[in-house]
Amino acid sequence: MTARAFLIRGLIAGLVAGIATFFVAYSVGEPHVETAIALEESGTAAEEAPTDASHDHGDEAAGGHSHTHSHSHGDEGEDTEVSRDSQRTWGLLTGSLAVGLVLGGIVALVAAGTIGRMGRLQPGQSTALITLLGFVAFALVPFLKYPANPPAVGSGDTIGDRTALYFGFVVVSVLTAVAATYVALRLRNRLGTYGGVVAGAAGYLAVMVVAGQLFATVNEVGDFPADTLWFFRRASLFTLATMWGVIGVVLTGLVGRLYAAQTERAQRRALAASL
Amino acid sequence: MSQVSAVPVAGAPSVPTIPFGQLAPWALFFGLLGTLVLFFVSTDQGAVSLLAGTAIHEWVHDGRHLLGYPCH
Ligand SMILES: [Zn+2]
């Protein structure tokens, strides 16, 4: 049980997770990215088109926003450097693999630091718990405050503010989760496991509810069709859940096997010594 | 913390820990590298630009959207 052994297993888990994430993102998410881009393009073209009462939201998706984002989506010409075909295949695979490897490695190193330090949890169990906490703190709770947006939603003018808000919220969430876990483990000595876990979870929840109130709300949805927005966001959540779920499953399995092998070696040595 | 609470049963040895001192260089090195990679996938050539151009942004564009990062 060394940091190196954990990191290697984390990178393996991250590689598998990155591949799985790509397939989920490609098959579940890309259709809605394509729909959004089609709306974005027809939206800019149809700004002068007659708006047909209040029901035809599709054609005016981008209406009301000054779309000054510097990048195009492949079909728009101008400064196109990467085609849509590349973006939704190799580009998406690159992003998925890179994020998978990074998250896998980081989760494994955090798990390495917590084995034997989380009550009586076995290494595999504490690793699974760390991954679950990582998903909640790094992905799920930030998503609830600042959900993913498809192309065509969001003004290029506010990307700076939205990026700062998003990562600020992620930092608050992760730091709060770390503190809450530490408090839960300390309280466990006095209150028992049940009391410690409830206190830690309640503490995290309380801080994040307050933070959620303090952080500015972003709403640049405009007239973007609600069904496409929901489908895209649901697909994004599936993508994130795949990433973290696969990291958790693979890494927990690998750490469990590592510990079992080490335990067996130690037992054999003890047996040999006792003879 | 936990070592006192459980008398190690034969066959169920107490879980070993990895000293933080041994972990620190790995965490520091991979933490920095990982943050840099995450930055390039999630943010570069958007709100902040470390490298000029839009090629990286374009290449990881769909991942940026589907993994929930602010893109445009
Ligand atoms: Zn975009």
A77-81, A225-229, B61-65: segment of lowest average pLDDT: A77-81
- Residue B71 within a domain: no
**CB neighbour list of residue A123: distance below 8 Å, 6 or more residues apart:** A1, A111, A115, A116, A255, A256, A258, A259, B15
- Residue B51 within a domain: yes
Crossing angle for the helix pair A92-114 and A123-134, nearest 10 degrees? Answer: 130
Q: What's residue A64's pLDDT?
A: 37
- Residue B13 within a domain: no
Closest residue in B to A102 (Cα–Cα): B34
- pLDDT > 70 fraction of chain A, expressed in percent and rounded: 87
- Residue B70 within a domain: no
Q: Is it the case that residue A17 has pLDDT exceeding 80?
A: yes
Beta-carbon count within 10 A of A66 CB: 9
**A58-73 mean pLDDT:** 40
Q: What's residue B13's pLDDT?
A: 58
Q: Which of A158, A159, A169 to mutate to test the interface with B (most CBs of B within 10 A)?
A: A159
The total number of residues written for chain B in this structure = 72
Q: Is it the case that residue A205 has pLDDT exceeding 90?
A: yes
> What is the residue range of B53's domain?
21-65
A226 C-alpha to ligand 1 centroid (Å): 18
* Counted domains in chain B: 1
Q: What's residue B3's pLDDT?
A: 45
Q: What's residue A43's pLDDT?
A: 73
CA A140/CA A58 separation, integer angstroms: 29
Burial of A219 per CB tally in 10 Å (0-12, 13-18, 19+): exposed
Closest Cα in chain A, distance from residue B43 (Å) = 8
Secondary structure, 3-state, chain A: CCHHHHHHHHHHHHHHHHHHHHHHHHHHHHHHHHHHHHHHHHHHHCCCCCCCCCCCCHHHCCCCCCCCCCCCCCCCCCCCCCCHHHHHHHHHHHHHHHHHHHHHHHHHHHHHHHCCCCCCCCHHHHHHHHHHHHHHHHHHHHHHHCCCCCCCCCCHHHHHHHHHHHHHHHHHHHHHHHHHHHHHHHHHHHHHHHHHHHHHHHHHHHHHHHHHHHCCCCCCCCCCCHHHHHHHHHHHHHHHHHHHHHHHHHHHHHHHHHHHHHHHHHHHHHHHHHC
Residue A49's pLDDT band (cuts 50, 70, 90): very low
**A10-34 mean pLDDT:** 97
A27: region left, alpha or beta (phi > 0 left; psi from -120 to 50 alpha): alpha
Q: What's residue B53's pLDDT?
A: 84
Does A192 reach chain B within 8 Å, measured CB to CB?
no
Residue pair A147/A25 in contact by the 8 Å Cβ criterion: no
A152-166, A257-271, B5-19, B42-56: segment of lowest average pLDDT: B5-19
For A33, which of B22, B65, B69 is closest by C-beta distance? B65
CA A263/CA A244 separation, integer angstroms: 28
Interval B50-61: pLDDT, tens: 888 889 999 999
Q: Is it the case that residue A253 has pLDDT exceeding 50?
A: yes
Residue A76's pLDDT band (cuts 50, 70, 90): very low
Mean pLDDT (chain A) is 88
Interval A89-128: pLDDT, tens: 999 999 999 999 999 999 999 999 999 999 899 999 999 9
Q: Is it the case that residue A81 has pLDDT exceeding 90?
A: no
B65 C-alpha to ligand 1 centroid (Å): 6
The answer to pTM > 0.80 is yes
Nearest to B46 by CA among A174, A158, A127, A129: A158
Residue B32's pLDDT band (cuts 50, 70, 90): very high
- Residue B57 within a domain: yes
Q: Is it the case that residue A157 has pLDDT exceeding 90?
A: no
A198-202, A240-244, B15-19, B23-27: segment of lowest average pLDDT: B15-19
The A residues from 121 to 180 touching B (CB cutoff 8 Å) are 121-123, 139, 142-143, 146-151, 154, 156, 159-160, 162-164, 166-167
- Residue B46 within a domain: yes
- Residue B8 within a domain: no
